[in-house]
Amino acid sequence: MTAQAATSLGVELGVLAADVDDSAAGATRGIVVGSTESREELEAFAAGRDVVTFDHELVPREHLLALEDAGHVLRPGADALRHGQDKGHQRRRLDELGLPVPAHRLAHGVEDVEAVAAEHGWPVVLKATRGGYDGRGVWVISDAGAGRAVLERAGAEGVELLAEEHVDLVRELAVLVARRPGGEAVTYPAIETVQRAGVLRELVVPARTGVGLAAEARELALQIAEEIDAVGILAVELFETGAGLLVNELALRPHNSGHFSIEGAVCSQFENHVRAVLDLPLGETAPTAPVAVTVNILGAGAEPARGLGDALAVPGAHVHLYGKAHRPGRKLGHVTVLGREVEEARGRAHRAAAALSGATIGAAA
């Protein structure tokens, strides 16, 4: 989707991808096959390009620093990216800034898990500080024994863990910021994210929260972007609790929660990411409709193409398939619907997504 935005702006985009079947490969011919684990392949990819940006957090920090030392322009830079790569670093930084985060400590041993439980009760959440996303690397622990088991496994794999209070949520929110190198920044309307089993299932925009809280979320996201010197898209994932907002996660890249923006905002997160990292004027983030709903397509049964006709028969269904091979539970695409009324739009979006997931609804087993 970033490739499509770049193409429209006449920007030549190269993609360093693990293989030619990467979903970006369908949308651009600028694919370079290589590994972000290899400093040589990163160097070769960066050579001669004006700017290097990222769509995941998995490039090793030492490689990022080496690229910057060699004079390559990374946007965001290595120090900003670290807030999306290392949850421990991110929590420490937000603590220093006095920003609200869940109560947490590094879990060196089960005594750290028990300390969190003593103060906040069970369950306790254990999170890998690196490499986790979409529910991977997160464990909800209901007693010390379970905590010990996770700690042992993580220790054996050299994974550092955070122990955090289990937050009692009203809902989850996300705010996207687009920010240029000089500091100019814009935010999108607050997004309500609906997760199931740690996987993002649905977006409702604007979030069904109070106007004051939505404004506060946007201010908080802008402040974080400024403090960590984010460039491009910064996604700030938030917990809304009865006592206010907590920052849950930062991602310094176009984000799942911004998929609504292709149709639901004047300028999409993908285009604004391209604009921002090239230090071009940012596009308008205003909504194009009273409500936008995005539902992710998770593989369930058949190939999504078999449901395409049924999905496209749903009025106003904007279908985005990522060209990935079908596998149960895999995120294969998303559907966005714009409307005037939330439940009506949700109904249409879920109908189209169900058709594409290959689910058979109401059929006898």
* Interface ranges with a copy of itself (CB under 8 A): 4, 7-10, 12, 25-29, 31, 266, 275, 280-284, 288, 304-305, 308-309, 312-313, 315-316, 318-323, 333, 338
DSSP letter at 306 equals G
> Alpha-carbon distance 177 to 11, whole Å?
21
Q: Are 360 and 301 in contact (CB under 8 A)?
A: yes
Closer to a copy of itself by Cβ: residue 206 or 304: 304
Closest by Cα among 259, 144, 270, 131 to 203 = 259
Q: Buried b / exposed e across 239-278, counting CB within 10 Å, b at 16+?
A: bbeeeebbbbbbbbbbbbbbbbbbbbbebbbbbbbbbbbb
Nearer to a copy of itself, 191 or 338 (CB): 338
Quick one: which of 208, 194, 202 has its CA closest to 295? 202
- Of 248 and 272, CB closest to a copy of itself: 272
Whole-number minimum distance, CB 186 to a copy of itself, in Å?
A: 12
Q: How far is C-alpha 31 from the geometric centre of its chain's CA atoms?
A: 23
Residue 324 CB, nearest approach to a copy of itself (Å) = 9
Q: Which is nearer to a copy of itself, 23 or 195 (CB)?
A: 23
The nearest distance, CB 163 to a copy of itself, in angstroms, is 42
Comparison of 28 and 85: residue with beta carbon closer to a copy of itself: 28
For residue 1, give the amino acid letter. M
Q: How far is the CB of 5 from a copy of itself (least distance, A)?
A: 10
Q: Using alpha carbons, list the distances in angstroms from residue 98 to 94, 217, 229.
A: 6, 15, 17
Of 138, 124, 150, 36, which is closest to residue 87 (Cα–Cα)? 138
Q: Nearer to a copy of itself by C-beta: 281 or 362?
A: 281
To which residue do tokens 């996604």 refer? 235
How far apart are CB 320 and a copy of itself at their closest, in Å?
A: 5
Least distance to a copy of itself, CB of residue 321, Å: 3
Question: Closer to a copy of itself at the Cβ: 1 or 175?
Answer: 1
Q: In whole angstroms, how large is the CA radius of gyration of the chain?
A: 21
Structure tokens at 173: 């929110």
Measured from the CB of residue 259, what is the shortest distance to a copy of itself in angstroms?
12
